[in-house]
Amino acid sequence: MAEQKSTSAYVTVACKIGVPWLDLQLCEEREISENTQTGPRQIKQWVKTGKIVRLRGTSYPRGQTPDGFPDRPEMLNGYALTRNVPREFWERWLAQNARAPYVESRMIFAHEAVADIKAQSSDHVKDLSGIEPIAREKIDGTDTIVDSRMARSTNQHVAGVQAASRSAA
């Protein structure tokens, strides 16, 4: 079945990376001369070029927001949405970055319709980007780190890692 090509000039990008924003820029290949010990040689180099497109990430400061910090991102199933990203830019950037881990793991993707983003993001609600804050929970009244990224003791007699006390000594 042939994929239907949309006529919309813009897409909405969904990003689940725990940063305030992510700047995307296209690159172009250039051939440059590099000096070596045996003389110059021609090499290919990718150089950033053109307009920067800023995507919203999921991170937002706690407490007092710094002056000039953007408003809270629009969220859907754990993804921050950035609307009105030029389709041509997105398709070219995606082609250049198709093997990036955050693209392959679906931490960032785009659709024309928000309903399509909702459908795709619902399949990845529990997926983590790996840069979220460390997970904690109360166990027996003690603030304990329960994050799977933390090292675990191989000694059965050693208890789990506990969070430091917040009271001043």
Q: pTM score, two decimals? A: 0.69
pLDDT at 4: 45
pLDDT at 30: 92
**Average of per-residue pLDDT across 95-119:** 91
**Average of per-residue pLDDT across 64-79:** 87
pLDDT interval class at 132 (50, 70, 90): low
Q: What is the Cα–Cα distance from 23 to 42, expressed in whole angstroms?
A: 30
Among 1-15, 38-52, 84-98, 107-121, the minimum mean pLDDT is found in: 1-15
Q: What is the Cα–Cα distance from 139 to 159, expressed in whole angstroms?
A: 12
Would the pLDDT of 126 be above 80?
no
Which run of H or E residues covers position 45?
strand 39-56
- Cβ count near 64 (within 10 Å): 7
Quote the Cα angle for 117-62-55, to 5°: 35
**Average of per-residue pLDDT across 146-163:** 67
pLDDT at 51: 94
pLDDT at 1: 38
Q: Write a three-state SS string for 3-23.
A: CCCCCCCEEEEEECCCCCEEE
Would the pLDDT of 59 be above 80?
yes
pLDDT interval class at 27 (50, 70, 90): very high
- The neighbouring-strand residues paired with 137 are 144
